[in-house]
A and B are shown apart, each in its own frame.
Chain A
Amino acid sequence: MVAWRNERAARDARLEAGRAFADGKVVAAGSVTDLLEAVLRPGDRVCLEGDNQKQADCLARGLAACDPARIHDLHMVQSGIVLPEHLDVFETGVARRLDYSYSGPQGARIARMLYGGQIALGAVHTYLELFARYFVDLTPHVALIAGVSADRDGNLYTGPNTEDTPTVVEATHFKNGLVIAQVNEIVERVPRVDIPGDRIDFVVEADRPFYVEPLFTRDPAAMTETQILIAMMAIKGIYAEYGVRRLNHGIGFGTAAIELLLPTYGERLGLKGQIATHWALNPHPTLIPAIESGWVTQVHCFGSEVGMDRYIRERPDVFFTGSDGSLRSNRAFCQTAGLYACDMFIGATLQIDLMGHSSTVTQSRVAGFGGAPNMGSDPHGRRHPSETWMKAGREAQIVGDPALMRGRKLVVQLVETFGEGLVPTFVERLDAMELARKTGLELAPVMIYADDVTHIVTEEGIANLLLCRDADEREQAIRGIAGYTEIGRGRDRAKVEALRARGVIRRPEDLGISPLDADRSLLAARSIKDLVHWSGGLYEPPAKFRNW
């Protein structure tokens, strides 16, 4: 007789063991470690919700305090390695294996622990890739998630930072797993039900509100004239040229400058309504002036941003909001939107090689990928046309039947030739390759592969890689905009001039832009306070960004 309900029985046993520490579904913050020691089994796959922004930090502290004699060799499957506790569990032996996506602030420590062999690494994923594996071969046995509030039945309100939660719960709950949520407060009635209570097994009232980092706030006061020049070139040479309406922006200062130039420079070029109308984007404060000036039709968000909640509530025509009025974000859906429904991804990177491969890895840090490779890639599953996509496709198409041509997504890298600390952005060989060798990674951690990149913009010009017909042209196009870096100085002048004559390379003057016009007075907001004014006082910046 074959047993078909072994997993269900195991789940029931865990639930029963956990109930000893709960009043109904509710567990006190002080009992988290007891609860986890009761419901976890050695070797379990565990998703400890560490998102790009919100963190299940109370549950993380509880897990880190578990007795490694009872709970050990866990296999952590979570998108973000953000808090120190996320790695502490590997030091104590509570956890052993890791599959993750992004590790920004813990990038240096994770690299040391990989070298030291304390972590058995599965792979570093992109967001969508990890989410997909939750449903195939990395399904969690237990998920530890975070929300703003819950009722005693477990109905969960995630607040504006819904992020990964629905995906994690979907994979865990419907495959015989256990879901434990930490919330800032237990209430009689939640403002809206983001996760129905029957998918939540235990609710922990956390000792303090979960941690969220303002990751997407760029202070206009720190924007340089070089960044403004690059932004002007991008608007005129790419946004206007291809009529880009549907897009995703990275989080750097270059794209923030573009956001602030739309209502000024973009307006002057007569581009309102022609470009940048539909977005897959976190609620960047620097987008406020463009929204207020009527540029933006709608924005779907991966997560929220600290200080933007009131503003978003008052702009439901633009943002996705729930019946309670607050933002509804969803990382998996927004990543999918960025991949399939946007015609352009534009963002910055730390290193670009001679072919156009790019990486944000340095030798001592493993920062992971997050979502940029999903959005910064040409989706071969796309089948709907748009003018932008088809124009890019025509530029790339050189052989074959035109009737079988397909479009291309624009993938644009926006970089200064020298980055922070005057480190050259253009290199012969990516640091990522050395890191892969040292840590024994099978795949070098390349953020965006060369064959996905269509344009590179620097202060020296735009290189259109779609128009390059062979590897040598591609190399010279990149050298031709690499400025005074070693790579730039190694250019073949005649070939670069020939590329410029063909429009493969375009200098600011070729676009009718004078670098002297790249002035901070062009920014629609020059300070965080200006953004507050634009928002009519609805944007409430966190203290670290204030100068009043």
Chain B
Amino acid sequence: MAVTSASADPTRLSWYEASARQRVAAFLDADTFQEFVGPAERAMSPHLPLFELPRAFDDGIVVGRGRLDGRPVLVAAQEGRFMGGAFGEVHGAKLVGLLRAAGAVTPAAVLILFDTGGVRLQEANAGETAIAEAMRAIAEVRAAGIPVIGLIGGRAGAYGGGGLIAGTCARLAVSEGGRISVSGPEVIETNKGAEEFDSRDRALVWRTMGGKHRRLTGGADAYVADTVAAFRQAALALIDRAPAFDLATLEAEQARLEARLARFGACRDGAEIWVRLGVNDPDAVPAMTDAAFAETVAGVPEASHDAR
């Protein structure tokens, strides 16, 4: 079982339990992380005081540079425990700034450690703008031949604009607890009713948005155990497997998504999709061990592809 304390063996540290700073520190080569616009600079939200809400010195995101197995990388890590890791003006600007710096720094990769519910409602316009800018910046970084890798296994998942940004990454790694989507369960239930989506049925939430489902449908490229060490291993492997970012890739992705919609558009539940993907015992998927699940994924050709 994974552990939580930073003082314990870092290879066993639980990604889900760790803070953004614990993740970054244990994920990169030891003592190589250099933070940009760190908490000492007090770059805080100008909007939250209007709502009498507490601010964070880092606005809920840690950005900087470090080394991964000796290779230079840029890293952004969202803190899901501060306002659900939501994008505000400063939070978004730090991510966009990091991505824009990649053109000049030319790292081996940019790594985004997602942990977000989406845009912060109290500064929604600035947050939405940041989402759009981040997606544009990722396109430019990838066009320059630098892979952008998303890692998703935090409590808040990658929702809203975070889900959109994840969709523009070259590769994604996800753990069982990780979730990827745009509208969250409660949002869907509020707008469409509990008959459409019962947000309290958490097994349903994970069957439709969770790590295993996203891996089986090829939404994520790697499925990893909930440890920082496993995410590190996966990131190293994915950097080397990042697809080119060109017209052919985009057309392949468009075709893949159209085919997916045609094939699964009528499904009401992730388990129905797994049946159509040829999974033998779909009911067993949620409780499967990591090893058994890896075997299942190996039997699903749609799970692995270079369309991104």
Is B202 within 8 A of A545, CB to CB? yes
Whether the Cβ atoms of A533 and B1 lie closer than 8 Å is: yes
Q: Which residues 179-226 of B have a CB within 8 angstroms of A? A: 200-206, 210, 212
B177 in contact with A521 (CB, 8 Å): no
Instruction: Say yes or no: is A548 at the interface (Cβ < 8 Å to chain B).
Output: yes
**Taking the complex as formed, is B123 at the interface, i.e. its CB lies under 8 A from any CB of chain A?**
no
Given A520-B17, A521-B8, A526-B14: A546 and B203 within 8 A (CB)?
yes
CA distance A537 to B4 in the complex (A): 23
Taking the nearest CB of chain A, how far is it from the CB of B18, in angstroms? 10
Instruction: Tell me whether A547 is interfacial, beta carbon within 8 Å.
Output: yes
* A520-B201 Cα distance, complex, nearest whole Å: 26
Closest to B13 in A: A521
* Contact present for A521 and B4 (CB under 8 Å): yes
Judge whether A544 is part of the interface by a CB distance below 8 angstroms. yes
With both chains docked as a complex, state the minimum distance between the C-beta of B176 and any C-beta of chain A, in angstroms.
5
A520 contacts B4, C-beta separation under 8 Å = yes
Nearest Cβ in chain B — how far from A12, in angstroms?
A: 48
Q: Which among A529, A530, A532 has the highest number of chain B CB atoms within 10 Å?
A: A529
B230 to chain A, nearest CB (A): 16
Determine if A548 and B200 form an interchain contact, defined as CB atoms under 8 angstroms apart. no
Give the docked Cα–Cα distance between A537 and B212 (Å). Answer: 19
B3 at the interface (CB under 8 A from A): yes
**Nearest CB to that of B14 among chain A residues?**
A526
Complex CA gap A527/B16 in Å reads 10
User: By CB atoms of chain B within 10 A, which of A520, A527, A547 has the most?
Assistant: A547
The yes or no answer to A543 lying at the interface (CB within 8 A) is yes
From B1, B176, B206, B286, give the contact of A530 (CB < 8 A): B1
Which residues of B sit under 8 angstroms from A519, Cβ to Cβ? 4-5
Chain A's closest residue to B201 (CB) is A543
Residue B287 interfacial (CB < 8 Å): yes
- Interface positions, chain B 257-308, Cβ under 8 Å from A, are 286-287
Question: Contact between A548 and B204 (Cβ–Cβ < 8 Å)?
Answer: no
How many Å lie between the Cα of A332 and that of B65 in the bound state? 64
With A521-B3, A530-B1 given, is the CB distance from A543 to B204 under 8 Å?
A: yes
Considering only residues 193-210 of chain A, those with a C-beta below 8 Å from chain B are none
Q: Is the CB of A526 within 8 A of B4?
A: yes
Contact of B286 among A520, A526, A548 (CB under 8 A): A548
B286 in contact with A546 (CB, 8 Å)? yes
Distance of A22 Cα from B287 Cα, bound (Å): 45
Is A548 a contact partner of B206 (Cβ separation < 8 A)?
Answer: yes
B201 touches A544 (CB 8 A): yes
Complex Cα distance A519/B14, Å?
13
Least Cβ–Cβ distance between A230 and chain B, in angstroms? 18
Partner of A543, one of B1, B8, B202: B202
Q: Which of B177, B202, B287 contacts A544 (CB 8 A)?
A: B202
A547:B206 contact, CB within 8 angstroms: yes
Specify which chain B residues have a CB less than 8 angstroms from the CB of A533 in the assembled complex.
Answer: 1
Q: Which residues 12-36 of B sit at the A interface, judged by CB distance below 8 A?
A: 14, 16-17
Enumerate chain B residues within 8 angstroms of A526, measured Cβ to Cβ. 1, 4, 14, 17
One of B3, B4, B202 near A547 (C-beta < 8 A): B202
Q: Give the number of residues in A that approach B within 8 Å (Cβ atoms).
A: 17
Q: Enumerate chain A residues within 8 angstroms of B17, measured Cβ to Cβ.
A: 520-521, 526
| Chain B: minimal CB distance from A517 (Å) | 9
Nearest-Cβ distance from residue B286 to partner chain A, whole angstroms: 5
- C-alpha gap A520/B155 in the complex (Å): 15
* Chain A residues closer than 8 Å to B287, beta-carbon distance: 532, 537, 548
Tell whether, in the assembled complex, residue B5 and residue A547 are in contact, meaning their CB atoms are under 8 Å apart. no
Contact yes or no, A544 B8, CB < 8 A: no
Cβ–Cβ contact A548 & B176, under 8 A: yes
CA distance A537 to B284 in the complex (A): 13
B window 22-64: CB within 8 A of A:
none
Q: How far is the CA of A532 from the CA of B8 in the complex (A)?
A: 24
Of all chain B residues, the one with the shortest Cβ separation from A526 is B17
Residue of A nearest to B177 (CB): A547
Query: In the complex, A520→B14 CA distance in Å?
Result: 11
Q: How far is the CB of A435 from chain B (nearest CB, A)?
A: 30
The answer to whether A546 and B4 touch across the interface, beta carbons within 8 angstroms, is: no
Who on chain B is nearest to A519 by CB? B5
Nearest chain A CB to B138 CB, angstrom units: 28
Tell me which residues across on chain A come within 8 A of B155, comparing CB atoms.
Answer: 221
Chain B residue, CB-CB nearest to A524: B1
Give the most central of B212, B286, B287: most A CB within 10 Å: B287
Q: In the assembly, what is the distance between CA of A492 and CA of B177, in Å? A: 49
Minimum CB distance partner of B157 in chain A? A547
Q: Which of A221, A520, A537, A544 lies in contact with B200, CB distance below 8 A?
A: A544
Q: Note all chain B residues with C-beta closer than 8 A to A545.
A: 202
Docked CA distance A532–B176 (Å): 15
Flag A101-124 by CB within 8 Å of B: 1 or 0 each.
000000000000000000000000
Determine the chain A residues whose CB is within 8 A of the CB of B212 once the complex forms.
548
Residues of chain A lying within 8 A (CB to CB) of residue B1: 526, 530, 533
CA distance A243 to B277 in the complex (A): 58
A450 to chain B, nearest CB (A): 36
Interface centre among A221, A519, A533 (most CB of B within 10 A): A519
A526 and B8 alpha carbons, distance in the complex (Å): 16
Chain A residue numbers with a CB within 8 Å of B176 are: 529, 547-548
Best-surrounded residue of B8, B177, B202, B287 (most CB of chain A within 10 A): B202
Chain A residues with CB under 8 A of B3: 521
Cα A533 to Cα B202 in complex, Å, equals 19
Once bound together, how far apart are the Cα atoms of A546 and B177, in whole Å? 10
Query: Which residues in window 509-531 of A have CB below 8 A to B?
Result: 519-521, 526-527, 529-530
**A520 CA to B7 CA, complexed, in Å:** 12
Q: Is the CB of A546 within 8 A of B5?
A: no
- Residues of chain B with a CB closer than 8 A to A543's CB: 201-204
Whether the Cβ atoms of A548 and B5 lie closer than 8 Å is no
Chain B residues with CB under 8 A of A544: 200-202
Q: Chain A residues near B210 (CB, 8 Å)?
A: 547-548
Measured CA separation A545–B177 after assembly (Å): 13
Which residues in B have their C-beta under 8 angstroms from that of A527? Answer: 16, 177
- A-chain residues with CB within 8 Å of residue B202 when the two chains form the complex: 543-547
A537 to B288 Cα, complex, angstroms: 11
Contact residues, A447-470 vs B (CB, 8 A): none
A479 to B5, CA, bound (A): 33
Closest chain B residue, CB of each to CB of A533: B1
User: How many Å from the CB of B24 to the closest CB on chain A?
Assistant: 19
Min Cβ gap B213→A in Å is 10
State the Cβ distance, A225 to closest chain B Cβ, in Å.
10
Report how far A533 CA is from B155 CA in the complex, Å: 20
Q: Which of B3, B17, B155, B176 has the most CB of A within 10 A?
A: B17
Q: Give the Cβ gap from A363 to chain B, nearest Cβ, in Å.
A: 25
B200 contact set on A, CB distance < 8 A:
544
Residue in A521, A529, A532, A537 whose beta carbon sits within 8 Å of that of B5 in the complex: A521
Beta-carbon nearest neighbor of B200 in chain A: A544
Q: Which residues of A contact B204 (CB under 8 A)?
A: 543
Known: A526-B17, A547-B205. 11 other contacts (CB 8 A): A221-B155, A526-B14, A527-B16, A533-B1, A543-B201, A543-B202, A546-B202, A547-B176, A547-B177, A548-B203, A548-B206
Residue numbers of A with Cβ under 8 A of B are 221, 519-521, 526-527, 529-530, 532-533, 537, 543-548
* 18 A-B residue pairings within 8 Å (CB atoms): A519-B4, A519-B5, A520-B17, A521-B3, A521-B8, A526-B4, A527-B16, A530-B1, A543-B203, A546-B206, A547-B176, A547-B177, A547-B202, A547-B210, A548-B176, A548-B203, A548-B286, A548-B287
